[in-house]
A and B are shown apart, each in its own frame.
Chain A
């Protein structure tokens, strides 16, 4: 079965420092991977996706993610964190077969400290 894991419930980083939010996946076949961000009292906003091609994917708000097949990881990164990046981040994998539903990780709360 497809699954994703976000091993950290919370990540704290100082403003201006690089940030990484971790995600590992388990899929059969080629993965379709996504990152979403959820701000308080808001819906999920699409950040970026990996389907195929370049292992470094660039997304919205200066975020990028690195797909690593050997380590089955898809970590979200940003070179310089902003206080406004503080939010809940979800990694997701698209199910294979006919459903195309997303299977989400448990989420990682990012706190950027001024």
Chain B
């Protein structure tokens, strides 16, 4: 158990819908990263937050957004969902930027 928690574990929704994935980092970790794991794209970095501020963006679609709250938990919002958004979404945290990242168990999203 890495200490990073993610909810929900599974999510099934329809195209066009909007969902919110939640991540709680390890105690004391200020940095949160979001990754998408799909069969054809592998593990792709989406976005990073540090102490509430966006730090870096990767291959994140405009339909996706995220934020980190004052209590350091983070949410990833996915809207206008498409079939291709079906994937595992992982959150990782680290004490500060550049330190070893520890991953949560992931949220499996299925868009029908």
Contacts and interface: CB of A to CB of B under 8 A. Distances in A.
Interface string B19-42: 000000000000101010000001
B45 A101 contact: yes
Given A43-B2, A44-B90, A90-B43, A99 B103 contact: no
B94 to A, nearest CB: 8
B52 interface: no
Contacts of B58: 99, 101
Contacts of A107: 42-43
Given A99-B48, A101-B56, A101-B58, A46 B100 contact: yes
Q: Is the interface of B mostly helix, strand, loop or mixed?
A: strand
B97 to A, nearest CB: 5
A94 B98 contact: yes
A105 B92 CA distance: 17
A34 interface: yes
A36 to B, nearest CB: 7
A100 interface: yes
Contacts of B105: 42-43
11 contacts: A42-B105, A42-B106, A43-B105, A45-B2, A46-B103, A94-B98, A98-B55, A100-B31, A101-B33, A101-B48, A102-B45
Given A44-B90, A46-B100, A101-B48, 18 more contacts: A34-B100, A43-B90, A43-B104, A44-B92, A46-B102, A99-B48, A99-B56, A100-B48, A100-B55, A100-B56, A100-B98, A101-B56, A102-B33, A102-B101, A103-B45, A104-B42, A106-B42, A107-B42
